Amino acid sequence: MRPCSLSIAALSLLALPAAGAIQSATSGTLVHSPTGLIAGNAFGGQYAHAWNERQSFVLTNQAVDLLGNGNSNSPTPGLVSGLVDSHMLHAESGWPINPSVHSGTVTFNAPIVGVIWTAAGLNGSDLFCAPAGTSYSTSASRGLVPGSEWVVVSGNAITFQFIRGQVFPYEYTQVRVLTAVPGPGAGVVLGAAGLVCARRRRA
């Protein structure tokens, strides 16, 4: 079976800011703009972190672990093509206090169209999504820990639970979030056109 594909098209108009950005984050998640090399020891484990990556750029058939709404426990993977904004969620271990998890919600100013959390997916999309002045360690130890960590996407919000400790071989948590791009003025990308799941024909 071929993966689902999502081609982004402007379907409606809404008065939203023209630049794609994180609108809000719940307590315990720091929103900032880091630079330099980001790995598993960049900030310490006290907080979860979120930042905007590259903005208003075109992706073509970018593989994602979750297409649109859903959750990481039963995801629908697929391909995203079109004009997008990219954002990163990040958490590290090494903060020996309770609670033992980071949990919260990050809200964006446009719908989430895809989420990437595997090391292979993150490493493969860094070239296109990393912001200017920022690079990432292309390590197999980054990503979402299966069974211990999760994300849930609903519209323009992603809710998460990340653990503070290490689970081999994962050393730090990263989740890349792709959102649609609000257009100039009132024009904004709100949905998907041509969401198609195609099956291979049997010979």
pLDDT tens digit sequence for 134-174: 999 988 889 998 888 999 999 999 999 998 876 767 788 99
Coil/strand/helix, residue 171: coil
Q: What is the pLDDT of residue 191?
A: 35
Question: Does some domain include residue 87?
Answer: yes
How far is it, in rounded angstroms, from Cα 52 to Cα 25? 12
Check: pTM over 0.95? Answer yes or no. no
pLDDT at 104 over 90: yes
Which stretches of the chain are DSSP H helices?
119-129
92 Cβ contact list (under 8 Å, min separation 6): 40, 41, 42, 43, 44, 45, 172, 173
Output the pLDDT for position 157: 98
Query: pLDDT digits over 32-69, tens only?
Result: 999 999 988 888 888 999 999 999 999 999 999 999 99
Domain count, the chain: 1
- Looking at the domain assignment, is residue 143 inside a domain? yes
Going by pLDDT thresholds of 50, 70 and 90, the confidence category of residue 96 is low
In a domain, 203, yes or no: no
Q: Is 202 part of any domain?
A: no
Residue 52, domain member (yes or no): yes
Task: Considering only residues 164 and 91, tell me which one the structure prediction assigns the higher pLDDT.
Answer: 91
Range of the domain at 63: 4-196
Q: Examine the pLDDT at 1 and tell me if it is beyond 60.
A: no
pLDDT score at 128: 96
Task: Count other C-beta atoms under 10 Å from residue 27's C-beta.
Answer: 6
Q: What is the mean pLDDT of residues 176-196?
A: 57
pLDDT score recorded for residue 121? 98
106/143 Cα distance (integer angstroms): 18
Q: Does residue 83 lie within any of the structural domains? A: yes
Query: Beta strands 101-108 and 57-64: pairing type?
Result: unpaired
pLDDT, tens only, 109-120: 999 999 999 999
